[in-house]
Amino acid sequence: MKNKKGFTLVEIIIVLVLIGILVSIALPIYRNSVIKAKESVLKENLFQIRDAISKFYQDKMKYPTSLEELVESKYLRKIPMDPITNKQEWDLIRFEPEEAEDFDPEIAEGIIDVKSFSQDLATDGTKYCDF
């Protein structure tokens, strides 16, 4: 036989199997890192909104009535996006006076906290809406 250069079928199959094994190992790690990155962004966005609410309250002695009010008052540049739902919508927790407290409608409309609307489970087993 003549001296032919090239790969045999067995060599090509071995290379393809090795590539398949590497991809099957790398893909779950990649997906998990994307989920963890979204969770980190969610925690940071919640921190920024909650910090802006606290600063607003300290400056004006009342809670904001909407997240847009935080933007208008320059406590936030814009309303952050929820990376889990990919929307700029947040579950707004409003102030509820206790039974012994006097009802003040201006305070009662105020936002004291925000949460994600997502009911999905995070990597640590808690729900995103409990962050």
Give residue-wise pLDDT tens across range 5-42: 788 899 999 999 999 999 999 999 999 999 999 999 99
pLDDT at 102 (0 to 100): 64
Domain boundaries, the chain: 12-130
* Contacts (Cβ under 8 Å, ≥6 apart) of 101: none
**Residue 76 burial by Cβ neighbours in a 10 Å radius (0-12, 13-18, 19+):** buried
pLDDT of 55-105, one tens digit each?
Answer: 999 999 889 999 999 999 999 999 999 999 999 999 999 987 776 666 666
Residue 94 contacts residue 109 (beta carbons within 8 Å): yes
